[in-house]
Amino acid sequence: MRIEAVIFDCDGTLVDSEGLAVEVVVELLAEVGVAVGADEVMRRFHGRRFATFLQELCAEFPALDAEAMIAGFRSRTTAVFRERLQPMPGALELVRGLALDKCVASNGPRAKIETSLEVTGLLSAFGARIVSAYELDMWKPDPGLIHAAAGLMGVPAARCLLVEDSLPGVQAGLAAGARVAAYRLDAAQLGELAGRVQRISHLAEVPALLGC
């Protein structure tokens, strides 16, 4: 089926934000005496709703104050992103040269998405074509986020390519019926879904999937 539009995840796909976010989480935890390494935080955090990740941490470490953690995470990541956030390799070239309609569908709040795209020079390529899970109350792997993104562009999900770097995002795309490019995900991470997606290691590979 011909691809008519492209849906991009934001964190880890368009912008190199996940390592920075993990740094902030590790720092916040250390400040209250909780030692969790960056690799472990990334494993638990990657592609998931932050509130769910935090709920699990609070169950494991009852002394944690969830509201303080959320407030600290949002304020610190905003500051860190404005200072250090970079686009993923090839992201600017891809989105600026893409002839098809495109949008961003992310589990993050709209303010965070817009800040990330603005700082990295990507926001003008998308304008208002941003779908936030917080506004829909639907988080990946719920396919509703992908359907909403496709609907924003007036294209059925089946005619969209989703570019996604997390397993929950891949699951959402496949459940929505979209074609999925799994960015920097290996077969072990994808498990039984590996045969249902196109794995790519660089964003420069995306145009070939579109016939561009």
pLDDT digits (tens, 9 = 90+) for 134-183: 999 999 999 999 999 999 999 999 999 999 999 999 999 999 999 999 99
Question: Could you tell me which of 179, 185, 183, 174 has the C-alpha nearest to residue 210?
Answer: 179
Q: What is the pLDDT of residues 38-48, one digit of tens each?
A: 999 988 888 78
pTM: 0.91
pLDDT at 1 over 80: no
User: Do strands 5-8 and 101-106 pair parallel, antiparallel, or not at all (unpaired)?
Assistant: parallel
Angle (CA) 100-115-94 rounded to 5° is 25
pLDDT at 187 over 60: yes
Domain 18-84: state its class. Answer: mainly alpha
The 3-state secondary structure of the chain reads: CCCCEEEECCECCCECCHHHHHHHHHHHHHHCCCCCCHHHHHHHHCCCCHHHHHHHHHHHCCCCCHHHHHHHHHHHHHHHHHHHCCECCCHHHHHHHCCCEEEEEECCCHHHHHHHHHHCCCHHHHCCCEEEHHHHCCCCCCCHHHHHHHHHCCCCHHHEEEEECCHHHHHHHHHHCCEEEEECCCHHHHHHHHHHCEEECCHHHHHHHHCC
Domain ranges of the chain: 5-16+86-210, 18-84
Q: What is the pLDDT of residues 94-139, one digit of tens each?
A: 999 999 999 999 999 999 999 999 999 999 999 999 999 999 999 9
CATH of region 5-16+86-210: 3.40.50.1000
Angle between helices 167-176 and 144-152 (to 10 degrees): 70
Q: How far apart are CA 37 and CA 23, in angstroms?
A: 9
